[in-house]
Amino acid sequence: MALKIGDYKTEVHNDWCPGCGDFGIVNAIQMALSEMQIPRHKAAIFSGIGCSGKTSHFINVYGVHTLHGRVLTFAQGAKLANPEMTIIAAGGDGDGLGIGAGHFVAAGRRNLDLTYIIFNNGVYGLTKGQASPTLRLGEKTKSLPSPNTNYNVNPIGLAIASGFTFVARGYAYDVRHLKDLIIAAVRHKGLAFLDVLQPCPTYNDINTRDWYSGMDRIDEAQKQHSRIYKLEDTGYDPTVHYDSEPELNEKLTQALIKSLEWDTKIPTGVFYKNEIISQYERRIMDKIPNYMENPPSAQVISANGKPTTDISKILDSMSV
């Protein structure tokens, strides 16, 4: 029997603020799971700490709400031990690009086959609105005592530089487009990063829903000009098609240039996609040929309570 969107919802009360962009992201994840018909027990949502950390409780698949900044470490551990699982990691911008930035970079280098979604709202919501790593220098969101003194991280650029092989951006209020991006990210063979612009209606009074939709940018004909546009509408080709340095460099460079666009033109869609770079799972298989069919979680380790691993050859080599 086909799984419906409702099958991926839990009955847990959702206590996000009214109008929060997070609702759109959770809906998009549920829609994506349903569209891909992933059996509930074959999927796991890992989440960090903060408003976005609660995501795993709202989705009716395995849900692991981890520690602040550490979501990728837990998620990668599970994926390595059971590569059959479809794993989506979710967390905030402070979580993933502040306290967790080291893990972000290291995960990129590994390129395991999982998806990481950052709920990017420029603030630390749950601790009452401090500046997050993506807030621009000099901006003063409403609960900051003074303007932000740090330069912002460029999440798309950092992901590309770190080795993520699928890098995309979505918008929390464009749920269908976001759903399509999540599906593309999950289906991508390798580590996918999704930067989701997610207005925080309570603490970020700069990058609001109205700001993204360009309410302040009305031309003489009273036409509103949304800041957000889709890369795919411009004929942009994010994919590295063949294994050559010029091709790779061209695709990396165009993605980096696109990642710098902000303010009046904010690209969404897929910036970069490269399935030529080997997945980490493949690199393990180079050393352990039967890793995928016999990963750690599947291995038989005992019979009748006794070990079945035979270490006698190793012991022989140590005998005197």
Partner 1 sequence: MLNQTDISWLIGGPQGSGVESGANIFSRACAAMGYEVFGKREFYSNIKGEHSYFVVRISSNAIHSNINDITMMAAFDAETVFRHTDGVIKNGAIIYDSDLVATKVDEVHTLDDFFKERLVKYLDSKNKPHTIQGILDIAQERGVNLFPISFRNVLSTMADEANNPRLKGMVRMFNVLGVAFSLGVFGMPPETLLSSIDVIFAKKKAIAELNKQAANYAYNYAAAKFPNFANHLKPIEKKSGNLLVQGYQGTALGKMACGCRFQPYYPITPASDESVYLESNEILEVKENRPGSTVVVQTEDEISAMGMTIGGALTGARSATCTSGPGFSLMAEALGWAGINEVPIVITLYQRSGPSTGLPTRHGQDDLMCTVYAGHGEFPKIVYASGDIEESFYDTGRCFNYADVYQVPVIHMMDKFLASSVVTCKRFDSDKITINRGKLLDKIEGEYKRFELVPDGISPRSKLGLENGIFWNTGDESDEYGHISEDPELRIKMMDKRFSKLDYALDTIPKEEQAVSFGVFDYCVISWGSAKGPILDAIDMLKKENINIGFIQIKLLHPFPTAYVKSLLKNAKTIIDIEANQTGQLGILLKQNLEQGPDYYILKYTGRAMTSTELYDSLKNILANKAEKRQVLTHGA
Residue 66's Cβ-count burial label (10 Å; 0-12, 13-18, 19+) is buried
Coil, strand, or helix at residue 46? strand
Comparing CB distances to partner 1, the nearer of 221 and 301 is 301
CA dist 109 and 164 (Å) reads: 7
Residue 102 is a binding residue for partner 1 (CB under 8 A): yes
Q: Nearer to partner 1 by C-beta: 105 or 175? A: 105
Contact code string over 42-81 relative to partner 1, x by CB under 8 A? x-x-x--x----x-xx--xxxxxxxx--x-xxxxxxxxxx
| 5 interacts with partner 1 by CB under 8 A | no
Q: What's the DSSP call for residue 205?
A: S
First to last CA, the chain: 63
Whole-Å CA distances, 278 to 75, 112, 237, 248: 19, 9, 21, 14
From candidates 40, 140, 177, 225, binder to partner 1 by CB under 8 A: 40
Which residue lies nearer to partner 1 by CB, 72 or 181?
Answer: 72
Spatial CB neighbours of 57, under 8 Å, sequence gap ≥ 6: 10, 12, 63, 65
**Residues constituting the chain:** 320
- Minimum CB separation of residue 55 from partner 1 in Å reads 11
Distance CA 312, CA 13 (A): 55
Nearer to partner 1, 2 or 301 (CB): 301
* Cβ closest to partner 1, residue 266 vs residue 284: 284
Q: Binding of partner 1 at residue 127 (CB under 8 A)?
A: no
Give the shortest CB-112-to-partner 1 separation in angstroms.
10
Q: Residue 3's closest CA among 44, 31, 45?
A: 31
Residue 300 interacts with partner 1 (CB under 8 A): yes or no: yes
Gyration radius of the chain's alpha carbons = 21
Neighbours of 290 (CB within 10 A): 9
Q: Which stretch binds partner 1 (CB under 8 A): 26-34, 209-217, 238-246, 285-293?
A: 285-293
Instruction: Tell whether residue 311 is a contact of partner 1 (CB under 8 A).
Output: yes
* Residues whose CB is less than 8 angstroms from the CB of residue 261 and which lie 6 or more positions away in sequence, other chains included: 267
The least CB distance from residue 104 to partner 1, in Å, is 10
Min CB(309)–partner 1 separation in Å: 5
Residues that bind partner 1 (CB under 8 A): 10, 12, 39-42, 44, 46, 49, 54, 56-57, 60-67, 70, 72-82, 84-85, 102-103, 105-106, 284, 287-288, 290-291, 294-297, 299-303, 305-311, 313-315, 318-320
